[in-house]
């Protein structure tokens, strides 16, 4: 640390983690691995990572952008450091750090991107994964990739921290020791109020609250609704889609009581000074992958018990607090939150693994996803041609990376609008004047080359989301996956037969783009045969996944004609062949085939030039009855020279006599001494040059 930084540093408030810090640094120096479990308010996030910079440059991973930025500022304030100097942050579309930065606070996806260009993380001595209990897909992947980098380097230290997780699985994965930090826990008075709305609960709690009130709601829409109902109070929103200034207003110290209306971004890491009451809706929004539509659906669900405890703990960081839960006390909550890897789209992590040089099917995941979901992600990436064009270098989902790659400058704003980080997931695309959108557009412009067709690019990015109207002008559509959906009236899609569904919520398509039929490359074709009453008709169908593009009449397959024609319409020989289930033709060693003749006496004949059967010892048997084929062996002039059902006997005993009689008459045809090793052929010998 520089002398200037020492002069600026302040006297830090003692925290429960402080007595453990030196021992932890020594443990990490010696063993390079550690798992830290410390309760909320112990100070693990603000004290341990700065201390680990004694070992070298450190990167601290956070699951959320809001927390990463706020945490960097808090550590800088505690230490007297300067943002962009000793400490900095890097999140998607935003970075503030320099060559002197010793502690970089970043979101988990940033580390994955760094690993693509620097697989050994040579710029860092220590990696800290904080709040790992949240188990985001980026955290799981970061842990797995960092472990491989650490195994390869030997001197890279890895520290995983959490307040509530089961430490054993992570400790086993890393082969690390667990350090559990005890902390004085202030009592939390937990109450249940299932009949109150959030706004009603706020007014009730505010009557005797001693400090700020932190309220947990599932999403931005619910926050705004509640804020309007509390317009006479100092109610401030806090969620990921707000601009930085709005987030800072919610987090800044204040002598006036604040009602902070937050999503789960305030559940961990973020410190909101002076909170004495928590009101918890018990709900959060999570993404769940729907294999039928290949879409992550945003759903509102009850939180887990460990999440509820973590939220309640925000009221007891500096003294006794209260937690009001807006659900019935008898409700059984899931003990632990469900990891992302079990429920979200795997396309991004699978692309990261492939670009990193790994095989997602054999990769050492922290928790392995089902194989079929990995294969589905690989198939989507194949359709996106993601590896061909290095789409992993663009900081977007592979679908949007393909859109930006193909549309170039024309697609920057569209890609930014569709990016989940620019809007609240599930919200409409209505951020035309948003500062966050403008910032994202500036950042993404660095990756845009040329100027392409936006609608074609959207098709390239969402090839599995093509939809076809069921009837002209109808809002009902059939998706390429084969499932039905409905166009929302506000989608604006009133014309056009074909479209690409860009935003699907349940069965409702809220955002779409029209496309042209000629842009679609058929995925497969088939031919169907049907008996019309007088003949068999064949129709070739051309498909794009489950969407029928066109039908064409084609000549019917003779085998299908025979199968579908009623028995009474067949000639006697066809009836005999059908009765034993025999083929129409027999494949020959020469590569050609011969027609089979099914006779009334039950015998089956094939008429073949003997040169086409060289080397064939076993007489073929046909159908359910395993009837041996009777070969009528032909001379080059097409006349029979032998009839046999025992080819082995013919080659051993009869062939030499036939050869003797015919080789002089037909010298341009092969008559080898050994028919067993000769090449079967229907051709004559080449003329000598």
Q: In what order do the strands lie in the sheet with 126-129?
A: 94-96, 87-91, 103-107, 58-62, 126-129, 157-162, 33-37, 177-180
H/E element, 236 = strand 235-238
- 371-410 in b/e form (b: 16+ CB < 10 A) is eebbebbbebbeebebeeeebbebbbbbbbbbbbbbbbeb
φ, ψ for residue 431, nearest 5 deg: -110, 40
Instruction: Render 302-341 in DSSP notation, one character per residue.
Output: EPPHHHHHHHHHGGGSSS-EEEEESS-TT----SSPPPGG
pLDDT-derived band at 419 (thresholds 50, 70, 90) equals confident
Q: What are the tens digits of pLDDT across the range 468-481? A: 999 988 999 999 98
pLDDT-derived band at 433 (thresholds 50, 70, 90) equals low
| Short-list 392, 383, 401, 404, CA closest to 351 | 392
Whether pLDDT at 424 is above 70: no
Distances (CA, A) of 645 to 573, 597, 621, 633: 20, 14, 10, 11
φ, ψ for residue 215, nearest 5 deg: -115, 130
Q: Is the distance from CB of 414 to CB of 397 less than 8 angstroms?
A: no
Whether pLDDT at 534 is above 90: no
Whether pLDDT at 5 is above 60: no
Q: What are the tens digits of pLDDT across the range 311-370? A: 998 898 878 999 999 999 999 999 888 899 998 899 999 999 999 889 999 999 999 999
Q: Is the distance from CB of 404 to CB of 398 less than 8 angstroms?
A: no
What is the reported pTM?
A: 0.73
Q: What are the tens digits of pLDDT across the range 477-513? A: 999 989 999 999 888 788 889 999 988 877 889 889 9
pLDDT-derived band at 594 (thresholds 50, 70, 90) equals very high
* 3 state DSSP class of 450: coil
Quote the pLDDT of residue 15: 87
pLDDT-derived band at 377 (thresholds 50, 70, 90) equals very high
Quote the pLDDT of residue 687: 63
DSSP designation for 688 = P
* C-alpha gyration radius of the chain: 36
Q: What are the tens digits of pLDDT across the range 65-117? A: 888 888 999 999 999 999 999 999 998 878 899 999 999 999 988 998 898 88
**Tokens standing for residue 29:** 């120096």
Q: What are the tens digits of pLDDT across the range 128-149? A: 999 999 899 999 999 999 999 9
Which of 5-14, 150-159, 257-266 is most confident?
150-159
Quote the pLDDT of residue 388: 86
Whether pLDDT at 6 is above 60: no
Q: Which residues pair with 178 in a beta bridge?
A: 35
Q: Is the distance from CB of 166 to CB of 391 less than 8 angstroms?
A: no
Work out the percent of the chain whose per-residue pLDDT is above 70.
Answer: 94
Distances (CA, A) of 60 to 105, 109, 161, 485, 487: 5, 12, 10, 43, 43
How far apart (Å, rounded) are the C-alpha atoms in residues 363 and 366?
9
Quote the pLDDT of residue 431: 45
**Tokens standing for residue 285:** 């929004």
Quote the pLDDT of residue 619: 92
pLDDT-derived band at 225 (thresholds 50, 70, 90) equals very high
Quote the pLDDT of residue 1: 40
Across the chain, mean pLDDT equals 88
Lowest mean pLDDT among 224-228, 335-339, 607-611: 335-339
Classify strands 476-479 and 484-487 as parallel, antiparallel or unpaired. antiparallel
- 492-531 in b/e form (b: 16+ CB < 10 A) is ebeeeebbbbbbbeeeebbbbbebeeeebeeeeeeeebee
Q: What are the tens digits of pLDDT across the range 167-215? A: 999 999 999 999 999 876 789 999 999 999 999 999 999 999 999 999 9
DSSP designation for 519 = G
Q: Where are the beta strands (DSSP E) in 350-474?
A: 466-469
How far apart (Å, rounded) are the C-alpha atoms in residues 345 and 340?
9
């Amino acid at each position: 640390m520089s002398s200037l930084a020492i002069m600026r540093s302040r006297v830090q408030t003692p925290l429960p983690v402080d007595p453990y810090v030196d021992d932890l640094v020594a443990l990490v120096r010696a063993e390079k691995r550690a798992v830290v479990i410390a309760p909320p308010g112990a100070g693990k996030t603000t004290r341990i990572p700065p201390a680990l910079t004694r070992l070298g440059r450190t990167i601290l991973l956070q699951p959320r952008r809001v927390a990463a930025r706020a945490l960097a500022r808090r550590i800088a304030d505690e230490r007297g450091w300067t943002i962009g100097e000793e400490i900095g942050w890097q999140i998607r579309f935003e970075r503030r750090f320099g060559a002197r930065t010793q502690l970089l606070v970043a979101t988990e996806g940033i580390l994955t991107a760094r690993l693509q260009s620097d697989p050994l993380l040579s710029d860092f001595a220590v990696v800290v994964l904080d709040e790992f209990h949240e188990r985001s897909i980026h955290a799981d992947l970061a842990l797995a990739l960092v472990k491989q980098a650490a195994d390869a380097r030997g001197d890279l230290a890895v520290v995983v921290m959490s307040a509530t997780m089961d430490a054993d699985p992570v400790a086993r994965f890393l082969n690390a020791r667990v350090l559990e930090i005890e902390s004085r826990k202030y009592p939390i008075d937990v109450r249940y109020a299932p009949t109150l709305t959030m706004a009603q609960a706020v007014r009730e709690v505010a009557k005797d609250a001693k400090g700020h009130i932190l309220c947990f709601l599932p999403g931005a829409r619910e926050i705004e609704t509640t804020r309007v109902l509390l317009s006479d109070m100092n109610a401030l929103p806090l969620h990921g889609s707000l601009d930085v200034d709005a987030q800072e207003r919610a987090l800044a110290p204040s002598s006036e009581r604040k009602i902070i209306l937050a999503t789960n971004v305030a559940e961990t890491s973020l410190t909101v000074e002076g909170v004495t009451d928590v009101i918890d809706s018990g709900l959060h929004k999570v993404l769940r992958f729907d294999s039928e539509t290949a879409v992550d659906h945003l759903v509102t669900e009850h939180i887990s018990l460990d999440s509820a405890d973590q939220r309640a703990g925000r009221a007891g960081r500096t003294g006794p607090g209260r937690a009001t839960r807006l659900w019935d006390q008898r409700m059984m909550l899931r003990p632990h939150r469900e990891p992302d890897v079990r429920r979200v789209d795997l396309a991004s992590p699978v692309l990261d693994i492939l670009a990193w040089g790994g095989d997602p099917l054999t990769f050492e995941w922290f928790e392995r996803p089902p194989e079929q979901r990995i294969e589905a992600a690989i198939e989507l990436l194949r359709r996106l041609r993601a590896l061909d064009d290095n789409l992993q270098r663009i900081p977007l989902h592979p679908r949007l990376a393909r859109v930006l790659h193909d549309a170039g400058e024309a697609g920057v704003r569209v890609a930014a609008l569709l990016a989940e980080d620019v809007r609240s997931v599930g919200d409409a695309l209505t951020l035309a004047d948003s500062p966050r959108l403008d910032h994202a557009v500036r950042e993404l412009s660095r990756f845009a080359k040329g100027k392409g067709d936006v609608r074609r690019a959207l098709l390239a990015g969402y090839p599995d989301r093509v939809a076809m109207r069921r009837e002209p002008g109808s809002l009902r559509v059939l998706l390429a996956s084969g499932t039905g959906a409905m166009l929302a009236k506000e989608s604006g899609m009133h014309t056009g037969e074909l479209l690409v569904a860009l935003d699907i919520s349940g069965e409702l398509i809220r955002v779409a783009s029209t496309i042209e039929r000629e842009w679609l490359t058929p995925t497969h074709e088939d031919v169907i045969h049907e008996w019309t009453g007088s003949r068999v008709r064949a129709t070739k169908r051309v498909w794009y996944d489950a969407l029928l593009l066109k039908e064409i009449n084609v000549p019917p397959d003779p085998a299908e004609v025979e199968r579908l024609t009623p028995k009474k319409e067949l000639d006697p020989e066809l009836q005999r062949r059908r009765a034993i289930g025999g083929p129409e033709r027999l494949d020959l060693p020469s590569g050609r085939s011969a027609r089979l003749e099914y006779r009334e006496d039950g015998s089956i004949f094939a008429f073949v030039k003997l040169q086409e059967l060289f080397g064939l010892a076993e007489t073929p048997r046909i159908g359910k009855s395993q009837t041996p084929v009777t070969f009528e062996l032909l001379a080059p002039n097409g006349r029979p020279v032998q009839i046999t059902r025992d080819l082995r006997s013919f080659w051993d005993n009869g062939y030499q006599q036939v050869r003797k009689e015919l080789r002089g008459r037909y010298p341009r045809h092969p008559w080898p001494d050994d028919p067993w090793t000769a090449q079967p052929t229907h051709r004559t010998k080449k003329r000598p040059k």
